[in-house]
Amino acid sequence: MKTLLYSLLICLFLIACGTAKRGEPAYAPVADSEPAIAQGQVVFNTYCTKCHPGGEAGLAPSFNDKPLPGFLMRFQVRHGLGVMPAFKEEVISDDELDHLIAYIKTLKKAKDDKAAPAS
């Protein structure tokens, strides 16, 4: 019973620590006309968006402000980190992971493009 209570309290604490800015997307719309990007978006929406909505902080930290190279993103997805679970090849195939990394890079670029001042 105590474990359930502690789990509930931790969940409530994590929800309360989410970002206050939830109404406005922090990124420009991502062009998904390229098949790999569109497939990466499906993988992202299936496995990542619950904790990293739009790449921003939610139940997990934002990754839009971290300049990780592709091989480190791949390593983190495969092996997990902290409370992030590991997604083995049986869950996300290597091809899906390639598409996911491409989508995340596109998402980061869209955020950077939105933040850049208009010339």
The 3-class secondary structure across the chain, one letter per residue, is CHHHHHHHHHHHHHHHCCCCCCCCCCCCCCCCCCHHHHHHHHHHHHHCCCCCHHHCCCCCCCCCCCCCCHHHHHHHHHHCECCECCCCCCCCCHHHHHHHHHHHHHHHHHHHHHHCCCC
pTM above 0.75, yes or no: no
Instruction: Sketch the domain layout of the chain as residue ranges.
Output: 32-114
Place 24 in a pLDDT band, splitting at 50, 70 and 90: very low
pLDDT of residue 4: 66
The whole-number average pLDDT for the span 40-52 is: 92
Model confidence pLDDT, tens digit, residues 58-79: 888 888 777 788 899 899 999 9
* Two tokens, residue 2: 């105590």
Copy the structure tokens of residue 46. 């299936």
pLDDT at position 67? 78
- The arithmetic mean of pLDDT across residues 38-63, rounded, is 88
Instruction: Kindly state which CATH superfamily the domain 32-114 is placed in.
Output: Cytochrome c-like domain (1.10.760.10)
pLDDT band at 8 (very low <50, low <70, confident <90, very high): low
- The overall average pLDDT reported for the chain is 78
